[in-house]
Structure 1
Amino acid sequence: MLKKYLKFIIMILFVAVFIGTVTALFSKGLHFTQHIKTISNFNYFLFFLPFAGLLTLYSYDKIAPNYDKGMGILLDNLDKKSNFLNYKMGILVFSTTLLAHLFGASVGREGVAVQLGGVIGKKNSKFIEEDRGIFSRISMACGFAGLYQTPLAAIFFIYEITKVKEKSKREKILYFLVGLVATFLSKYTAKFLGAHTFLVNLKFSYNLINLNFIFKILFALICFSFIGILFVQFTEINKRIFTKLFPNKYVKIFSVSVVVALALHYFNGRYMSLGTNLINESFSMFYLIKNQDFILKLIFTSICISIGFQGGEVTPLFAIGASLGIFLSYFLGIDPLLLAALGYICVFSSATHGYLGSSFIGAEIFGFEYFPIFFISCFITSRLNFHKNIYGKRIYEVDL
């Protein structure tokens, strides 16, 4: 038994370093795509967005058919012994996500980190006689931790969006602690290699809390939950509508991308890519946030995801939530940075139907002294979303 645990620990720590290295490389690739567009005329890149979409679909069809469903494929194969998941999936999501960002698609980045972590973990779990599913889940968490630099949030987030088989209490504690060590190792590996850490110095006094403040916050939480639900529903509706209008997926992604590119150009590229520009403005120059930012970012991201661009939704959800928080602060008379922070985590909480991962994201970015507020807020928004989830049938269930 001891030999089994030692082998598991050694393997997962090795994989954690490897995943941290890969996520750092991906972060540098993302930074490069943003830098290129900054020093060049972004209009030229938007012109090629439809062709980037065609290349994305063609690459999946020729190299790895049936892998273009992203996180869904990964989640459905975590506990299976088949070799369906392989490095082709990791390489494709890595390259096609960079391609999407280079040419302006409004998508996220966590899909790459989590899928790469999952694939690397799945391939190396063949050396583990038992608990392969746990090994793969910790590897996915390492990808999230390396990219977002939030190791505590990573381990909780992964176990919220996946289902885990029953384990003994001793094994639960052991694997949880091993997972924490692995995610921290992945984080610091990526940080050492140049991954960016996003931190905000939030200043809020608990002395400001009164009955009026509580009612205003509850109203904001309802808004955050609604927007999370809206994103999930709108994406599902878009997928059905665009598939019905364009049965051929190549025609679909090209035709819709033409319209998206023109619309992004009209808004001067403000809603391209991750949405980090909106996040940075929300926490440093919130007066630059426009009233329509949150809804337009939601629309562009939902459309890009629904027609087949790779990357994920998490960072755009952060941007949508933060800019919505600034918008609500104008009416509620509450500190805009506090509402931006709550929006940042609560829209994500609503869209994923989980509260532990999002609560720890808030604590690791904005300060652990505010964890009680983050936990209560994320719990409320996640419970208000009627089990809607960007990851489909997966629902909140922690077993470790």
Structure 2
Amino acid sequence: MTSRTTGPIRTTGPDRDARGESAFEPTADRPVPASVEEHIDHVRRLLDALRTRPSDTVSVAEALGRIPTSDVASPVDLPLFRNSQMDGYAVRAVDVAAVPVSLRVAGTIAAGPSDTIVVEPGTAVKIMTGAPVPEQADAIVPVENTVAEGDFVTISMSRAAGEYIREQGSDVTAGTVLVRSGQTLEPRHIAVLAAVGLSHIEVRSRPKVAVITTGAELVDAGSPLRPGQIFDSNGVTLAAHLRANGADVVAVHRSSDVPEDFRRILFLATSKAELVITSGGVSMGDFEVVKDVLATLGGQFGSVRMQPGGPQGTAVVDGVPVLSFPGNPVSTVVSFLMFARAVIRESAGLPPISVRSVPLAHSITSISGKRQLLRGKVEEDGVTLIAGPGSHLVAAMAWADVLVDIPADTIELAAGTNVRVIPL
């Protein structure tokens, strides 16, 4: 669903959420608002240890989506031995040069372990697909070109040497690199690793991340709602974004606005994770449990000059970095995309997300001072904004495919102006 208009689209205005996000301003005990780039640099420094990953040994059966830490070469040839490409008869090509010809059937070879059989002149051996080709045979006659009668088979079509035979190593030879270091393993890679007999592989370890959502108003999806309650979408949303970008989500917790409750869950999360991400409780309301607790543990909170997602916090608890995002669903997602996604992907060994420039399909207006990160959809005539800038408009995020990045000093952009878009 898109929103078009003949006049400029306003991208700013009142956007006060339940936690007072728009009212979050610097005070004497808080840092001066930072730019997006400054906070990105701050987070990267905080998560520096996370970006250097050791390797894990995992079974090939469980390696889907993992990143090899080195090139992986085949230990064997494929095929492992000469085998038949067809159900039919193994013959000497010279014996079927003139057809029709009747040959004595000297035996049968099925796929699997078998005794050694030699194809003598004037004989054929019945063979199944994948079975080892018997000695002295150099061609396979498909069964549809034959008629079996007792101990003999009549061949109706001649076959040249090599026809329908898979030679050893014709697919890959031992020592050939099958997958490269840094490559994301897909089902086709799993297939070849299993085919050459590899049971385990060294891969980049995944960063272990725990998620904590906060708010007395939150309940699980599917639960009955009392007045003032909402479904907790941030927990499942952050977990999905983390998994999609290579993280191992070790826990998803939810805390009330009671400090003791949050503190208990926080220390539980840090005992399991290398990184904790929280949502909610970081602005200027009366029940900002994340800020209240983390501030006593050395946490820093302030406002980044962007909308949505201005209020941000960071801390280190028991040696584990904590990133604290605002609680409105869109603010939470935008915060993850801007500040956490790149580091998570890098730590997991995944390639960076490519940002590109796309023309606006319509004009927009903005205000100076805050970088706008608006939901948009790229179409044939450019990028179109989806709905408004409100940080509560979750459906608009689902309909969008990019964030439209409007610089903080921009007041108005005409249709056709190139803007930076960030894939969702």
**Structure 2 length as normaliser, TM-score?**
0.22
TM-score, normalising length: structure 1: 0.23
**Structure holding more helix per residue:** 1
- The structure whose residues are more often strand, as a share, is 2
Where relative contact order (Cα < 8 A, 6+ residues apart) is larger, the structure is: 1
Q: Which has the larger radius of gyration?
A: 2
